[in-house]
Chains A and B, each alone.
Chain A
């Protein structure tokens, strides 16, 4: 382990102190440390989870209908997430074995102004205004493009704000302190824009079939954040929604 070496050879003066070389072998120490490191690496986590805050409406029945704030039909965008269906079951990704999810949307009321149901509850399939979308960012009908298009007025302002922030409009970005201050001012200004009642803002209603995956829901919720949507809601599927979805899938069978 440790050795003490006496310098040998050479002429040695009588009475001179012997020079000792003291060497400690650190190999076992390194071994032990490596073991400890391995242990810590395997048993611990460094990444802290992130959270996504959700606020659901109270599900108490509101007795006075007038008190309910209704989203105007023009602003409403409904997004429906569903698992991709195959004959009798669901389409499963061949690589990771996950259920493939699909996303649909419609503007305004289900079935347009005329509605999906005729007299006596008959279904009017011609009124189906459901369209298929995707999570693909480059797709013209992709969910991001649609939301961005609807939220154009807010996003233009936010982008202008971003540019101002990058150009140092909220203070210098040179120092850490300055960056923090600028970020704070930017966030306040962005929140102001999102709240601005004069801008046309969509109200996004997110619905999901029971078979769709939790991951897709979070993905859609992410889009809300990316595209600065201030008003969005997770809601239950209504009868009209289900009817439209089934009708659409029957009409586009095999796609």
Chain B
């Protein structure tokens, strides 16, 4: 009988599906909502934390990971994704959890050291083999024969950081002369070959389509790209001045409380500041605050002047309005 046969195969498939959904032998489970390129970092850190937690409390903890663009991740948490902690790459995306959902207190940045940013990075350049155009700093990117690639600041945090870095450089170089700053940033933007919507798209444009002389992205990501395309001979250039890109972390208190994970969630984030964890983070090309680890990795992270959002635009909310809002500075400077 055909129908019986079908039913049998369906039952079989069902059993297969269920058995593939494993039951974890964990005492506690934590959900970490993170940005899209942090998978390996947290896979490694979670292992470290599980060992630390086991030693401290004797309990087995399993940390589950959700990855995606951090604005979308924040939106999902507001809509009910019950993440205990967030480890994002944009401060504004954590702020939204307070503004729209009251899921954490307004002063979340004061809950942990270094404004709740256990590690940081900056915008660096990936140039083609031998750096044929001799690109060293932001003024090189405004030269007529140089074309650059980075994601659209309208849609990507990565692109916003790049824009702000160039703007901050110009503020310093022209001692605050607004007309000259605008002129420089305008030229800089006009040298962009392609504005992709996200970091991964920009990488594909630069690497696989061979467009542009320089790809501007996080210093932490540049090494991933070199590892992914070892035979291309790409080189890293860290400019003399760049933007301080913070990676904010916070406990989503409402959710963590509900999940009964408040202490665990706090411990999970606090452990990020331990020397061992900082070493692990540095191993993934992130800059860290721990001085011992800084000394160990001094060679990998050339010194540069890091500009904060406060120096460049006063605050994030101000930057979003003045620079990235409709008909804001970015829109004006992009008109050719």
Chain A bound to chain B:
no
